[in-house]
Amino acid sequence: MNNRENGGLRMMAARFVGAVRLRNEPRCGRAAPDELALSLTPMMARYKALVRWKVAKYLSMGRVRAVSCPVCGSATEVANADTRFSVVRCTSCGHATASRTPHDEELQALYDGLVYWHKDKGHGGIESFTEGNWDAWLAPRLDSIYRLAGFVDTPPKQVLEVGCSEGRLLYELRLRGHDVFGYECNAQIAALGSHAFSIPIAGEGFAASKVAGRWFDLVLAYHTLEHVGDVVAMVRDMASVMKPEAKMVIELPIETVYDNPDHVHFFTHQSIRLLLGRVFLTVDLFPHGFIDAHGTQIDSAFAIASGPRN
């Protein structure tokens, strides 16, 4: 990263993070061009992705490919052909998914910049990294870790979170003494969060090869796997860096209407059990739900998995 990019990022962090004080912050007189460059880059990526989706739709001439269920391998039927990825649903486990596997570049384009962060966190009444209803956002996550997964603070643990966004949960766990590490495919949010909370966040997609030689006691992924292309490969990869006694804690939305344009997967309780059961010996499911800032009931499920199969 060159100095100009770095300066722009730091200034954006100062504005975005709100109450967090960024010490030794240099004054930057060229704010507008730097911020413009930051906001244009993801805009161009989104535009390119949009063109690619349109071309893919046109070339398929409205046909939806008959893919098999990525979770259980059964046949699928068309559930909603009008969405970005044309959603099909498994006739056995009910898992719904994109009728083609999106490219990493396409997926990344969905979350670049700060727009997605504001849309996602805004549902919960969160305005910046430090302002808004963070306690309500943290409470169910901490409950899933401590009560549902039986996590304890002593001795300190190695914690990995995949899709950690700004890293607010990892920051909370680090305050409790743990060694934390996060992956976030939105490089801009990763850099801002890493700077604001002084925690290591890699601004790229997770792969086990990237943490070779490091083993974790706790592996987390909240509202992340529904955005991943090959979800079975991702869970296997995450499981491969767990210590023998480690636990994985995930949360996934349970959706029966397939109109969320950003989701590649729409899970059922059964498909979550099947997915994790392919990789782990023990899987426990806990239905959860909350009402978002618009008053809409959002159903989800926490899953605790342990005992990775070899």
Binding site for Zn ion (CB under 5 A): 69, 71-72, 74, 90, 92-93, 95
What is the closest distance, in whole angstroms, from the C-beta atom of residue 71 to Zn ion in the complex? Answer: 5
Structure tokens at 142: 């901490």
Cα–Cα nearest to 218, from 175, 274, 172, 180: 180
Q: Are 67 and 97 in contact (CB under 8 A)?
A: yes
- Would you say 74 or 282 has its CB closer to Zn ion? 74
- Would you say 71 or 145 has its CB closer to Zn ion? 71
Instruction: Say how far apart CA 108 and CA 282 lie, in whole Å.
Output: 32
Instruction: Say how far apart CA 200 and CA 190 lie, in whole Å.
Output: 9
- Would you say 236 or 278 has its CB closer to Zn ion? 278
Q: Are 235 and 279 in contact (CB under 8 A)?
A: yes
Return the SS3 of 20: coil
What is the closest distance, in whole angstroms, from the C-beta atom of residue 273 to Zn ion in the complex? Answer: 11
* Sheet hosting strand 265-266, strand order edge to edge: 76-80, 87-90, 96-98, 265-266
What is the closest distance, in whole angstroms, from the C-beta atom of residue 90 to Zn ion in the complex? Answer: 3
**Distance from the Cα of residue 140 to its chain's centroid:** 16
- Would you say 76 or 165 has its CB closer to Zn ion? 76
What is the closest distance, in whole angstroms, from the C-beta atom of residue 264 to Zn ion in the complex? Answer: 15
- Would you say 45 or 232 has its CB closer to Zn ion? 232
What is the closest distance, in whole angstroms, from the C-beta atom of residue 92 to Zn ion in the complex? Answer: 5
Main-chain phi, psi angles of 248, to 5 degrees = -110, 135
What is the closest distance, in whole angstroms, from the C-beta atom of residue 9 to Zn ion in the complex? Answer: 42
What residues does 284 pair with on adjacent strands? 304
Q: Are 95 and 266 in contact (CB under 8 A)?
A: yes
- Would you say 74 or 256 has its CB closer to Zn ion? 74
- Would you say 69 or 221 has its CB closer to Zn ion? 69
Return the SS3 of 45: helix
Instruction: Say how far apart CA 190 and CA 182 lie, in whole Å.
Output: 9
What is the closest distance, in whole angstroms, from the C-beta atom of residue 213 to Zn ion in the complex? Answer: 35
Contacts of 40 (CB under 8 A, 6+ apart): none
- Would you say 65 or 103 has its CB closer to Zn ion? 65
What is the closest distance, in whole angstroms, from the C-beta atom of residue 267 to Zn ion in the complex? Answer: 10
DSSP tag of 174? H
